[in-house]
Amino acid sequence: MENKQGKKLSKRQALRDQRTRQAKNQRILIISGVAIFAVAVIALIVFTNPGITGNAGEFVRVTPIAFQNVDGTRMGDPNAKVVIELFEDFKCGACANFNEFIEPLVIEQLVNTGKVYFIFRNLPFLDDRSNVKDSDNAANAVMCASEQGEFWNYKKILFTNLNGSPGEFNSTRLVAFAESLGLDKNQFQQCLRENRYQSQIDQDIALANDLNVTGTPSLFVNGVQIRPGFVPSFEDINQAVEAALAQ
């Protein structure tokens, strides 16, 4: 009786052990599958997003333009009766559209004609809640380009290559942009490392707060914001400029 009971217990224990081994093997297979999937996802991100790896990758080059009467982040006649101030973030898609379609008209028809003094101001805020500081990096880089007289062309190459991916404005890529415009690489890199123009960027941010700027692009004509909450058209801007000139 005792021997039969012992045999029954041994068989039950063996069955339990077999089931335990099977469950353990299944867990190992599941964990391995998850790990393989994670590695594949990371590899996909790395190879499709040069910003994550710190590599320059492919980017769209721009042909530098010779702008008239430029002084760093400012353009036009400083004695002009009308002053336009433009706040932008280089991670802002609406700013990229403004830069491509509206700003050239402002420069051609209002700045180059002597009607307007045009001032750009950095407002990097779109990555405030992110660990990847593309907005801040780009703002710093465009100021370093300004140091070598290429603010406006560097501004253009930033917006031309904006795609919204995290890490797209890493230091390696920003330096590659600078080199493509013929800037001195060593000087530019040193400027980036020092974060040399942070105090000036902070001043722009403080001014935006004083003016209750809540988004980008935000444009002011003689201190008055044009179409708050919306992207102003060239017609909106031109009308405000003409009204200011008539006063």
Instruction: Flag whether pLDDT at 4 surpasses 60.
Output: no
What are the tens digits of pLDDT across the range 83-131?
A: 999 999 999 999 999 999 999 999 999 999 999 999 999 999 999 999 9
Q: Is the domain of 208 the same as that of 112?
A: yes
Instruction: Flag whether pLDDT at 211 surpasses 60.
Output: yes
What are the tens digits of pLDDT across the range 24-43?
A: 555 544 444 434 344 333 33
Q: What is the structure's pLDDT at 50?
A: 39
| Residues in contact with 55: Cβ distance below 8 Å, sequence separation at least 6, in sequence order | 172, 173
Q: Is the domain of 31 the same as that of 85?
A: no
Q: Is the domain of 18 the same as that of 75?
A: no
Total count of residues recorded for the chain: 247
Q: Is the domain of 220 the same as that of 109?
A: yes
Residue 159 within any structural domain of the chain = yes
Domain count, the chain: 2
Residue 53 within any structural domain of the chain = no
| Residues in contact with 201: Cβ distance below 8 Å, sequence separation at least 6, in sequence order | 122, 124, 136, 139, 140, 143
Q: Is the domain of 164 the same as that of 218?
A: yes
Average pLDDT of the chain?
A: 86
Burial class (CB in 10 A: 0-12, 13-18, 19+), 174: buried
Residue 60 within any structural domain of the chain = no
Q: Is the domain of 25 the same as that of 113?
A: no
Residue 62 within any structural domain of the chain = no
User: Could you tell me the CATH number of the domain that includes residue 190?
Assistant: 3.40.30.10
Domain that holds residue 20: 2-48
Q: Is the domain of 14 the same as that of 87?
A: no
Residue 65 within any structural domain of the chain = no
Q: What mean pLDDT is predicted for residues 59-66?
A: 96
What are the tens digits of pLDDT across the range 126-154?
A: 999 999 999 999 999 999 999 999 999 99
Q: Is the domain of 200 the same as that of 110?
A: yes
Give the confidence band of 57 by pLDDT, cuts at 50, 70, 90: confident
